[in-house]
Amino acid sequence: MAKILVTGGTGYIGSHTVVELQNSGHEVVIIDNLSNSNIEVLNGIEKISGIRPAFENIDCVDYVSMDKMFEKHQNIKAIIHFAASKAVGESVQKPLAYYRNNLVSLINLLQLMPIHHIENIVFSSSCTVYGQPDQLPVTENAPIKPALSPYGNTKQIGEEIIRDTIHANPNHYQSIILRYFNPIGAHPTAEIGELPNGIPNNLLPFVTQTAIGLRKQLQVFGNNYNTPDGSAVRDYIHVVDLAKAHVLAVERMLMNKTKNTVEIFNLGTGRGLSVLEIINTFEKVTGVKVPYRIVDRREGDIEKVWAEPGYANSELGWVAHETVEETLRSAWAWELKLAEKGKHE
Ligand code: UFG
């Protein structure tokens, strides 16, 4: 039982992680500036776990407010740092906003941690750091490739900032860096899920919004990749599976089970699925058609990537359990819930 700070805790992955932390008996403090999430998420969390987490509307970029927050919420044992901007295309348009938001927030946390006697931080990274890997499935030891967007670069630089900081102060910090593959789906209760702002960039929200009639047609970006059906391949992972890995990561640090002051884990299923496979499976499990057409490749897209999750399986004791069928069903149940609540008007 420990008090955990979750930055970005009302966001998509953050909210699912808060629920899993609570289910494991931990006390959660959320900070979020609600720039890409909604305060009502707290109601969803409370409905699932029966506990309303402490919440502070703070921007992690604001050092003074963060310092005050740590004064107010004493005895935090670990931080899970989700809060970040994450739209790849937008990051190309607004690089400075991305570098400021994603890097200054991390630097603030790392500066404030020793002042407030906090040693442990989990960092949300991404398989984007591997670019197009030379070998698949990709392991944690694969080389880091030049980032294809400022967003991707903030994840690479974020990892380096953590490594350098801990190298200089190995007695004051430890960190687990989690490299996510493609999180999709929603909590099985459909009380929380992904809430994209405007037109979705990611595949799954676009699929569910097209299925429900909010969008006329899904565009499949490319069918001439070197993959079995020509569409791009990703490792799609249920967001609840992903959330559970964060609980294990925090507990691993708190119980001093880490082997290094910085550890890196891939969080994926080890299974690659193409865009067309996702569409077909979605149609099969929901019985709902998804109108789509093939268009040109999207700039900056990787052809294929999927994880070697063996290290997370053996060392973290974590395995992605959910089937893709169940995961897609949960995404659809969430879209239906949004419609029922009138969130589409
Ligand atoms: N896709 C479509 N049509 C759409 C949206 C997506 O065909 O309308 C395709 C993409 O071309 C890609 C696949 O679906 O082949 C998945 O695309 P997403 O945008 O859902 O996910 P990405 O793999 O491109 O990006 C995700 C995260 C990024 C992260 C990246 C690598 O959204 O934040 O993985 O880690 F950088």
SS3 (DSSP) at 238: strand
- Our answer on whether the CB atom of 223 is closer than 6 Å to any ligand 1 atom is no
Average pLDDT, the chain: 97
**119 CB less than 6 Å from ligand 1?**
no
Query: Is the CB of residue 84 below 6 angstroms from any atom belonging to ligand 1?
Result: no
Distance 323 CA to ligand 1 centre (A): 20
Pair (241, 147) in one structural domain: yes
114 plus 15 within the same structural domain: yes
For range 255-269, the mean pLDDT? 97
In a domain, 191, yes or no: no
- 206 CA closest ligand 1 atom index: 8
208 and 110 in a single domain? The answer is no
Q: Do 208 and 111 fall into the same domain? A: no
C-alpha of residue 304 to centroid of ligand 1, in Å: 11
Mean pLDDT of 260-271: 98
Residue 228 placed within a domain: yes
155/128 Cα distance (integer angstroms): 8
Q: Do 25 and 76 lie in a common domain?
A: yes
* Helical axes 239-254 vs 12-23, angle rounded to 10°: 60
The answer on 304 and 244 residing in a single domain is no
Classify residue 344: in a domain, yes or no. Answer: no
Whether residue 197 is contained in a domain is answered as no
pLDDT over 90 at 197, yes or no? no
pLDDT at 250 over 70: yes
Catalytic residues: 151
Q: What is the pLDDT of residues 81-98, one digit of tens each?
A: 999 999 999 999 999 999
**CA of 300 relative to ligand 1 center, distance in Å:** 10
Whether 170 and 296 share a structural domain: no
Query: Helix H segments across the chain?
Result: 12-23, 41-49, 63-72, 88-93, 95-99, 105-115, 150-168, 203-211, 239-254, 275-286, 310-311, 324-340
The predicted model scores a pTM of 0.98
- Asked if 242 contacts 13 with a C-beta cutoff of 8 angstroms, the reply is yes
Among protein residues, the one whose CA lies closest to atom 3 of ligand 1: 220
**pLDDT at residue 345 above 70?**
no
Instruction: Kindly state the percentage of the chain with pLDDT values over 90.
Output: 97
Here the CATH number for the domain that contains residue 87 is: 3.40.50.720
Question: Which domain CATH number covers 275?
Answer: 3.90.25.10
Is the CB of residue 182 below 6 angstroms from any atom belonging to ligand 1? yes
Does residue 136 lie in a domain region?
A: yes
Looking at the structure, tell me whether residues 263 and 279 fall in a common domain.
no
**208 assigned to some structural domain:** yes
Assign 343 a pLDDT band (cuts: 50, 70, 90): confident
**Residue 344 pLDDT greater than 90, yes or no:** no
Is 66 contained in some domain? Answer: yes
* pLDDT average, residue stretch 162-188: 97
Q: Are residues 168 and 287 in the same domain?
A: no
* Cα–Cα dist 261/171, whole Å: 9
Number of structural domains found in the chain: 2
Describe the crossing of helices 275-286 and 324-340 by its angle, rounded to 10 degrees.
Answer: 70
176/230 same-domain check: no
Q: Over range 99-113, report the average pLDDT.
A: 98
Which range marks the domain in which residue 320 is found? 203-234+270-337
Do 115 and 245 fall into the same domain? yes
Percentage above 70 pLDDT, the chain? 99
Q: Is the pLDDT of residue 133 over 90?
A: yes
Is the domain of 148 the same as that of 215? no
Residue with the smallest CA separation from ligand 1 atom 7 is: 220
Tens of pLDDT, residue by residue over 292-335, are 999 999 998 999 999 999 999 999 999 999 999 999 999 999 99
State whether the beta carbon of 133 lies less than 6 angstroms from ligand 1: no
Q: Is residue 29 part of a domain?
A: yes
